[in-house]
Chain A
Amino acid sequence: MPTTEHKHPNYIAIWIWLAVLTAVEVLVAFISSLPRHILILALLFLAVWKALLVALYFMHLRFEPKRLLIFAVAPLPLAVIFVMAIMQEFP
């Protein structure tokens, strides 16, 4: 299988990023006295950041053909539609 040879990304650096972000999350959740909705937004932001790191580097989506990227993100709009629409029911 001739793959496009790329140098391995620095996985240890990603790992440090993930560990630091997790620590920040716990600190934000416990120590900070942020208003609740800002707290939620901050935590979601950190979680999405971590998830993206895992998907792009560990699952090496960043180095895959664009067509595979379509496969990977195809269910996400459906997930968003699902939650957003049902939330309308419970104002």
Chain B
Amino acid sequence: MTTAAVAERPTAAGHDGRSFIQRYIFTTDHKIIGIQFLFMSLLFLIVGGLLALMMRWQLGYPGQPMPGGGMLPETMAPDGILLPEFYNSLVTMHGTFMVFFAIMPLLVGVFANFLIPLKIGAPDMAFPRLNMASFWIAVPAGLLMVAGFFVEGGHAGAGWTAYAPLSARPDLSGVSLGQIFWLLSLAILGLSSILGSMNYITTVVNMRAPGMTWFRLPLSIWSLFITAILVLLAIPVLSGAAIMLLFDQTLGTHFFNPVEGGQPLLWQHVFWFFGHPEVYILILPAMGMVSDIISNGSRKPVFGYHSMVFAIIAIAFLGWIVWGHHMFQSGMNPMLGTTFMISTLVIAVPSAIKTFNWLGTLWRGSIHFHTPMLNAIGFVAMFVIGGLSGIYMATTPVDIFIHDTYFIVAHLHYVLFGGSLFAIFAAIYFWYPKMFGRMMSERLGKVHFVLTFIFYNLVFFPMHFLGMGGHMRRIYDPTEYEFLQPFQPMNRFITVSVFFLVAAQVPFVVNFFWSLFKGAPASENPWKDNGLEWTVSSPAPHGNFAETPTVYHGPYEFSSPLVDDDYLPQSRAVDPQPRPAPAAGD
């Protein structure tokens, strides 16, 4: 078995005679692959943000030439005025890029890759070469998705949900090649995600260090593990759906074409059967990493560790039986609709458990407001707002009123931007020293957080009012509707705020690149955290651990009475006798 074990991990510590290409480009090192995903998905985050900016310009100033719009070709924006067809592509591609190429790789590609082996005490992933393949399959998928903008007929315009028959029939949408590119790209990206999640699951199950029992795993690893299971089982469903739609487009099949007996409703079911687990793929890792950071920032153990784990598992399981709540307006069997409504409302229970546990962790902690902590607290606050508006739309009668309005847009951005993205910022600030060996600037980080938090709320909170007023989503020109005319000042206010929100990201970009070269060198454990990754040098060396660590404690032993420090690394053995507590304090 020894030989096979060595063959399984060609990048084990010790032999490091790798060329530049082996080290940084076609690398099998999970940390470098994570960083590759980081750069790719941050790039797509910027692309997605710029698409949103163009969209908002059209909504705030419909029919007026966009500043800089003259640079776009005639087929997109003649004289800088966005064409309706191009606006449809913007709506579609903003969603697609953000969901599939920014948030999902940021959480699953970057942090699952970077954190799992480091935090469980493994030298690398179980299948390092598959891991490399996973990244290099994602790159052509991204290129294909971008290329769709430049083909004849423009990019896909049927929304990121690609509802059939609009997406299936070029004679209805006028888009053929763009939609085909979109579907192919998602099918290829699906393969990348499946390979990645195979790796994550196998690694967590089989490669934990001695003593790292299931209930000593950090919550970030728990959530990434459960997320990997969701990816493994949900993404192939999307691939299957995308392939059927692709065949409708190219081979003339009739899956979703009602004229020939196909069922457009079937697309919605298959898509959302994937789509709702996808929603939890986008939030669960964020919840896990926030748990780690909040515990660190409060210098207290996470409140209710076991209930946190069971809440993650419960959310993941319930996520499979709620997909119909996206389709209350599609004409559903009422019995089925009620079932979906109840199962959706039940999800509020584990979500609330997690929220109260975060509050319980903060309660009476000695809170350190470092930048990761600020972003993590921002996550909790925004997730509560987004979660509460989610309960509104889970109830069928309310949803029938607010379906397809800006209320939905507000909700999904409160959980995806206010939730996931703040958690991603927190995680980047937190683990940046371990990735690059330098600290990010705390001052710029705080400026970035405060500005983002303010302008983010200015952008998305008013959308609740727009939605209650009946403002539909995905419309090109709100001024065409008489009843939306009074909302135009609010639309314009949102657009102006978006410009400030984008500008508020400048400190982050500057901070990120400046710190790469000029940041203060990071010590081994700058945040005084307990995880195994903080026992190795910064940046973490190739092969991770000189010798496999042994784990003695759970991950959240902050302010433990066993030691004088206020933290207790998982791999530090202490003598079993608790020391006498200090006279004052707790």
Query: Which residues of A line the B interface, CB within 8 A?
Result: 1-2, 74-75, 78, 81-82, 85-86, 88-91
Residues of B within 8 A of A1 (CB): 1, 4
Among the listed stretches B94-102, B307-315, B332-340, which one makes contact with chain A, having 4 or more residues with CB under 8 Å of it? B332-340
Q: Is B233 an interface residue (CB 8 A)?
A: yes
Q: Is B269 an interface residue (CB 8 A)?
A: yes
Q: Is B265 an interface residue (CB 8 A)?
A: yes
CA distance A90 to B332 in the complex (A): 10
- CB nearest to B265 among chain A residues: A89
CA distance A88 to B321 in the complex (A): 14
* Other 12 A-B pairs with CB < 8 A, given A88-B333, A89-B336: A2-B1, A75-B233, A78-B233, A78-B320, A81-B320, A82-B273, A85-B269, A85-B321, A86-B266, A86-B269, A89-B269, A89-B333
- CB nearest to B327 among chain A residues: A89
Residues of B within 8 A of A2 (CB): 1
Bin chain B's interface residue count. Answer: 10 to 19
What are 6 contact pairs spanning A and B, CB under 8 A? A2-B1, A78-B233, A82-B273, A85-B269, A85-B324, A89-B333
Residues of A within 8 A of B320 (CB): 78, 81
CA distance A58 to B195 in the complex (A): 25
Shortest beta-carbon distance, A56 to chain B, in Å?
A: 22
Residues of B within 8 A of A81 (CB): 320-321
Within 8 A of A (CB), among B50-96: none
CA distance A86 to B336 in the complex (A): 9
Residues of A within 8 A of B233 (CB): 74-75, 78
Across the interface, do A85 and B336 meet the contact criterion of CB distance under 8 Å? Answer: yes
CA distance A28 to B233 in the complex (A): 35
Q: A75-B233, A78-B320 are in contact. Are A88 and B335 (CB under 8 A)?
A: yes
CA distance A43 to B238 in the complex (A): 30
Across the interface, do A88 and B336 meet the contact criterion of CB distance under 8 Å? Answer: yes
Within 8 A of A (CB), among B1-32: 1, 4
CA distance A74 to B335 in the complex (A): 26
- CB nearest to B236 among chain A residues: A75
Residues of B within 8 A of A75 (CB): 233
Shortest beta-carbon distance, B300 to chain A, in Å?
A: 34
Residues of B within 8 A of A82 (CB): 237, 273
Residues of A within 8 A of B333 (CB): 88-89, 91
Among all A-B residue pairs, the 10 with the closest Cβ atoms? A1-B1, A88-B336, A86-B269, A88-B333, A89-B333, A82-B273, A75-B233, A78-B320, A81-B321, A89-B265
Residues of A within 8 A of B335 (CB): 88
CA distance A77 to B168 in the complex (A): 30
CA distance A43 to B278 in the complex (A): 36
Chain B, residues 210-240, CB within 8 Å of chain A (1/0): the string is 0000000000000000000100010001000
CA distance A82 to B335 in the complex (A): 16
Across the interface, do B273 and A89 meet the contact criterion of CB distance under 8 Å? Answer: no
Residues of B within 8 A of A89 (CB): 265, 269, 332-333, 336
CA distance A1 to B3 in the complex (A): 11
Shortest beta-carbon distance, A91 to chain B, in Å?
A: 7
Shortest beta-carbon distance, B244 to chain A, in Å?
A: 14
- CB nearest to A85 among chain B residues: B336
Shortest beta-carbon distance, B204 to chain A, in Å?
A: 13
Residues of B within 8 A of A88 (CB): 333, 335-336
- CB nearest to A2 among chain B residues: B1
CA distance A88 to B327 in the complex (A): 14
- CB nearest to B229 among chain A residues: A74
Residues of B within 8 A of A74 (CB): 229, 233
Residues of A within 8 A of B324 (CB): 85
- CB nearest to A89 among chain B residues: B333
Residues of B within 8 A of A78 (CB): 233, 320
Within 8 A of A (CB), among B231-265: 233, 237, 263, 265
Shortest beta-carbon distance, A41 to chain B, in Å?
A: 25
CA distance A2 to B4 in the complex (A): 13
- CB nearest to B335 among chain A residues: A88
Shortest beta-carbon distance, A73 to chain B, in Å?
A: 12
- CB nearest to B237 among chain A residues: A82
CA distance A75 to B233 in the complex (A): 7
- CB nearest to A78 among chain B residues: B320
- CB nearest to B340 among chain A residues: A85
Chain B, residues 291-328, CB within 8 Å of chain A (1/0): the string is 00000000000000000000000000000110010000
CA distance A69 to B130 in the complex (A): 24
CA distance A6 to B1 in the complex (A): 19
CA distance A88 to B273 in the complex (A): 15
- CB nearest to A1 among chain B residues: B1
Q: Which of A75, A81, A86 has the most CB of B within 10 A?
A: A86
Shortest beta-carbon distance, A65 to chain B, in Å?
A: 12
Shortest beta-carbon distance, B220 to chain A, in Å?
A: 23
CA distance A91 to B332 in the complex (A): 11
Residues of A within 8 A of B263 (CB): 90
Residues of A within 8 A of B237 (CB): 82
Shortest beta-carbon distance, B479 to chain A, in Å?
A: 38
Residues of A within 8 A of B1 (CB): 1-2
CA distance A91 to B266 in the complex (A): 14
Shortest beta-carbon distance, B534 to chain A, in Å?
A: 31
Residues of A within 8 A of B336 (CB): 85, 88-89
Residues of A within 8 A of B273 (CB): 82
Residues of B within 8 A of A91 (CB): 333
Residues of A within 8 A of B265 (CB): 89
CA distance A91 to B509 in the complex (A): 55
Chain B, residues 445-459, CB within 8 Å of chain A (1/0): the string is 000000000000000
CA distance A81 to B277 in the complex (A): 14
- CB nearest to B266 among chain A residues: A86
Shortest beta-carbon distance, A85 to chain B, in Å?
A: 6
